[in-house]
Structure 1
């Protein structure tokens, strides 16, 4: 699933090529929303809302897409060949100088703009972590309310109802950099540490929002290959202490979670959930 900074960058690119332009043609090649309804309207805005992308039109309609794991938006010049087949296109918007195509998004909705405020997903989103103003204290309070006595930081931090935009990658990288194990219960994290986690996630995502290559390990900014501390490195040595990086599945959604057992002390209540994580714990 794309992280919030990916949607932020996507919205920035689409805004540059769509905003203020008249829609000459629009379609949904695989069925779905009646895209012809926006033809003749002008694109008023393109906005990232957490992991959702919303395009507003001058006729009062709005297009919402959620990309999940496989979706993406592409921008082409008129007549330029697409990099993916038409069969994968979910929505197409054509203006005099650009063609914007949404590929493989599982969620594509066209609605009255007024419905955004009561949309069952959008109306429940917490503050976008990339948008100003951003109230860190309010987010920390929300994390504590959501967690209660037993909620774990690795799961609660990704609850889009509390703060929108943080995905699995930034969860893992942030908690590593803050030295907090993802299975740590929020209730035992002190206020300064919890605030540090939220601020670190925001700083990392804002740093990467206008970059083509995502970086969290700044020492490796000029290197080829991964520039992350943990992402994609399970089974390899930690770049800080050389302990082998391990992982497990966390929460109701079984999200892939990784950590360094030395840099992020394992809480006493943690029990491995998968065969692979049990093997790692036994080694």
Structure 2
């Protein structure tokens, strides 16, 4: 699943390419939208909300998409070869005279009345990169279920929107706790730092083509623990470990340093 900074970058690319232009080609390749034609409508804006993308058209319509694990939006100039995947993976084409946006492998694609956007994104917590960011509310949301594992609480978009699996592992490292520690057992000073630290990381990477949480630019040193098992921890040299975390149906690889991050582990 993409991180919030990646979704914001995708929204910016789409907004730059489409906003203010009239749709000249519209092809939504999902059964429930097969007869929808957006040609002739002007694209008003493309707005990210957590990990969701909202493409708004004149006439009060919004195309809601979510990338999840494998989805992507690509933007092409006239005559440019489309390279996001085979044709059968294309789910959406929105074209103007100057650019064409192509959505590949989109697991969520629906057309809403703009007034009804809350039905798609109203459940989300404060957006780490959005105008609605509220650190105090995010902390209250995180601590509402004190028995919940720290990593799972961070990934829950109802608590705060924008954290994916990479930032989950990196935040747990930076805060000095394993992702399996019940969040209610996290010392109060560390818990209170979580929302601001999460925002700091996403803000620092919202313009970067290559994400880093360490401040380093070397490919093998951009992240403290994510993807590093069994290589040594960048801080203490202990081999980084990995295990799945989740409810079984949505388990994701999780990384931690057993020395720098005390607490329960699988």
Judge same fold: TM > 0.5, yes or no: yes
Question: Which range is displaced more, 3-12 or 35-44?
Answer: 35-44
Residue 255 of structure 1: CA displacement? 2.1
> What is the match of residue 261 of structure 1?
258
- Residues 126 and 137, structure 2, Cα contact 8 Å, conserved in 1: no
Residues 1:251 and 2:252 aligned together = no
What are the ranges of 5 or more consecutive residues in structure 1 without an aligned counterpart?
273-283
The size of the alignment, in residue pairs, is 263
Please identify, of 24-33 and 252-261, the stretch whose mean Cα deviation from structure 2 is larger: 24-33
Deviation at 1:192, TM superposition (A): 2.3
Cα deviation, residue 31, structure 1: 4.3
Partner of 2:171: 174
Cα 1:193–1:35 shift into 2, 3 Å = farther
8 Å Cα contact 1:34-1:110 kept in structure 2: no
Map of 1:16-27 to 2, 5 A cutoff? 16-27=16-27
Give the structure-1-normalised TM-score. 0.88
Indicate if the aligned counterparts of 1:70 and 1:105 stay in contact, CA closer than 8 A: yes
- Distance (Å, rounded) in 2 between the aligned partners of 1:97 and 1:62: 21
User: Cα offset for 1:226?
Assistant: 5.1
Q: Provide the residue aligned with 2:57 in structure 1.
A: 57
Distance 2:57 2:35 in 1: 11
The DSSP-based 3-state class of the residue aligned with 2:255 is: strand
Instruction: Please list the CA deviations of residues 252-274 of structure 1 after superposition, one character each: whole Å capped at 9, or x if unmatched.
Output: 1322211001100123xx4x2xx
Q: Does the residue aligned with 1:37 lie in a helix, a strand or coil? A: coil
Task: List alignment gaps of at least 5 residues for structure 2.
Answer: none
CA distance in 2, matches of 1:113, 1:135: 24
- The alignment partner of 2:176 has SS state of coil
Structure 1 match to 2:135:
136
Cα shift at 1:197: 1.8
C-alpha displacement of 1:30: 5.5
Q: Which residue of 2 aligns with 1:77?
A: 77
Measured in 1, the distance between the counterparts of 2:53 and 2:92 equals 13
CA contact (8 A) 2:226 2:254 kept: no
What is the SS of the residue equivalent to 1:206?
Answer: helix
Coordinate RMSD, CA, aligned: 1.5
Q: Secondary structure at the match of 1:48?
A: strand
Q: When the two structures are superposed, what TM-score results if normalisation uses the length of structure 2?
A: 0.94
With over 3 angstroms needed to count, the CA separation of the structure-2 counterparts of 1:230 and 1:29, relative to structure 1, is same
Are 2:199 and 1:164 aligned?
A: no
Contact residue 249 and residue 257 of structure 1 kept, 8 A? yes
> What is the match of residue 192 of structure 2?
195
Q: Which residue of 2 aligns with 1:105?
A: 106
Cα distance in 2, alignment partners of residues 7 and 257 from structure 1: 21
How many Å separate the matches in 1 of 2:174 and 2:225?
10
- Give the CA deviation at 1:160: 0.6
Q: 1:128 to 1:63 in 2, by over 3 A?
A: same
Distance 1:29 1:151 in 2: 39
